[in-house]
Amino acid sequence: MELSGKVALVTGGSLGIGRATVMALAREGADVAFTYLGHRIHPGEAKEVVSEMQSLRRKCLAIETDVADFAASSSVVKRVVEEFGRLDILVNNAGITRDSAVWKMEEAQWDEVLSVNLKGCFNYIHAASPIFREQKLGKIINITSINGLRGKFGQANYAASKAGIVGLTKSVAKELGKYNVNVNAIAPGMIDTEMAAEVPAEIKQRAVEETVLGRIGLAEDVANLAVFLASEKARHITGTVIKVDGGQYI
């Protein structure tokens, strides 16, 4: 298994791409901790992920927290290291949408999306970086979006947050490269997740028509790339943004 003996932390790991990534990392031998925000999920979803992990005979830790809480991020990372003895992989996946045309967008809609999506990503990189620097080993994978590369009507806040992640990824890759830490980003297109379930059918159909493969992706399509970037097969890849979009961006 590619990741045997490794420990990963995935933010937003109880649903969608995060959940698929937790399971994909576990199937490759990693022990995985993940965060979730309790009031945003149906009861028992985090427990279901833990149960699935245990069926694979992997160690798992579910931590309820708000990724936008700077102080809490350090506590979460410290707890993971205490529980598992190490940390090798960080996947910044947690994200939300609060869509609105910019002239209608309220300050709270802007602030919440930037706080969770972009600041949350910074928080966990900030907390994990000292560990990765000291051990001279680490993999950071940030989930951005093709809408952070091209923009999207009604998603000025979301697109800005995801564009920020691209800049953050490239900057941190330069800062941590000499410590043998790989930092990359994945930019999904439309993916069939709980978030996508809230998108009107006509917008989903438009996304399908935009792709050259004629379909929207699955969470596992993103998770499979995350596993590759977390492995030593990707040892010479850093500062890169890789699209998983079926050609939707073209």
Q: Which of 1, 9, 63, 55 is nearest to 31 (CA)?
A: 9
Q: Catalytic: 124?
A: no
Catalytic residue among 36, 158, 179, 249: 158
Residues catalogued as catalytic: 158
